Chains A and B, each alone.
Chain A
Amino acid sequence: MADHTRDPCPIVIVNDFGGAFSMGVIGGTIWHGIKGFRNSPSGERRSGAIAAIRSRAPVVGGNFGSWGGVFSIFDCAIKGIRRKEDPFNPILAGFCTGGALAMRGGFKHARNSAITCGCLLAVFEGVGIAMSSYMSRASKPQLPGVEGGVPLGA
């Protein structure tokens, strides 16, 4: 039942943070590269793109990274408190992350952000469970000799 593809709990925070940061940097590079390219005058598109990447992509990376890091911290904490591993852990962790990262904007903003993040992670977990049950349908163990046969004792 335990997920053995992820590393054990304290060190996985570094892994999640680094992975999210990398995703944010690479995605931000592409996004702001295209945006800076398109929003620059005709002779300066390349330098405009590079300038946009240099100023914006690290910020996107930092945002993604801190989201991933805080999510992983809450996930590990909830796993430690509940002593169980099931899909509710990431949903609760997403709820706490959304709230924690938006806390500077006031209670209402934090509450809305928390609910949004929780629902987003519930969707992710639901998709994950659906995919894994779809994959495991092919390897369900079959009872031998039952197809169309007479049951014993009948």
Chain B
Amino acid sequence: MVWPFGSSKKDTESSPAPVTSNEPLIVDRAPTTTDSSPSATSSSQSSSLPELPSFLSSESFDISKLHPLAGLDKGLEALDLEDDALSDLPGSKGFLPSRGWSDDLCYGSGTMYMGGLALGGAYGLAEGLRHSPASAPAKLKLNSVLNAVTRRGPYLGNSAGILAISYNVFNGLLDVYRSYHDAYNSIGAGAITGILFRSTKGIKQMAISGALMGTAAGVWSYLTSSI
């Protein structure tokens, strides 16, 4: 490239005057080069003015000459996350990710117990407030509310938790037995759970309960697989 102060003819003609005024300019123009002495003393030599070293210019960076496995021609490939490389566990792609039957069992029974506790507690709260007379002092009301909450809450929580445990255990057993994880296992597990739940109350109750729980399990597995 043509250096503005580099042509020999003009430099030799006007060298006395611009040397004194060029020196600070040249020093300022090359702050990053280490060899500033040749540039200050030789304003008449165009080839020794500082230039970028040859390995920094872009012509020497030839991608094809680099190692072929470096893969630099494909761009930033490491940032491409393919969806199926994230996880290949069967339960990881659904709405509620889980690593297997133990996750299902623990989280399912924990959530159902806490849900049942909350619902039963709310029902007990309403019942306790309803059963205490309106003019009763606050301590009496609190007592009747606490009685109702501790009667209804844990009962519903326990029942819901046990249903969840039974459903998950049978779901896991059916998965192992059929070697396949699909919605029929859920429905079957729900039906067996419902039948067991009412097993002391007679055949008709067992059938109704089994049908209800099977339907609920089917709806649940449809919802979690479609969202």
Chain A residues with CB under 8 Å of chain B are: 14-19, 21-22, 25-26, 50, 54, 58-59, 61-62, 65, 69
Contacts and interface: CB of A to CB of B under 8 A. Distances in A.
13 contacts: A14-B106, A15-B106, A15-B110, A18-B105, A18-B110, A18-B111, A18-B113, A18-B161, A18-B164, A21-B109, A22-B109, A61-B162, A62-B157
Contacts of A58: 158-159, 161-162
Interface of B: 102-103, 105-111, 113-114, 154, 157-159, 161-162, 164-165, 200
Contacts, number: 58
B161 A65 contact: yes
A61 B110 contact: no
A52 to B, nearest CB: 13
Contact of A18 (B107, B158, B159, B200): B107
Contacts of B110: 14-19, 21, 65, 69
Contact of B161 (A16, A25, A50, A54): A25
Nearest to A17: B110
A87 to B, nearest CB: 23
A61 B162 CA distance: 9
A84 B157 CA distance: 34
A21 B159 CA distance: 12
Contacts of A25: 161-162, 165
A26 B114 CA distance: 19
Kindly name the residue among B109, B114, B154 whose own CB sees the greatest number of chain A CB atoms within 10 A.
B109
A59 B157 CA distance: 11
Kindly name the residue among B108, B154, B165, B200 whose own CB sees the greatest number of chain A CB atoms within 10 A.
B165
Contacts of B157: 62
B161 A61 contact: yes
A17 B164 CA distance: 13
B161 A21 contact: yes
A47 to B, nearest CB: 8
A3 to B, nearest CB: 15
A26 B113 CA distance: 15
A22 B114 CA distance: 13
A22 B108 CA distance: 10
Contacts of A65: 110, 113, 161
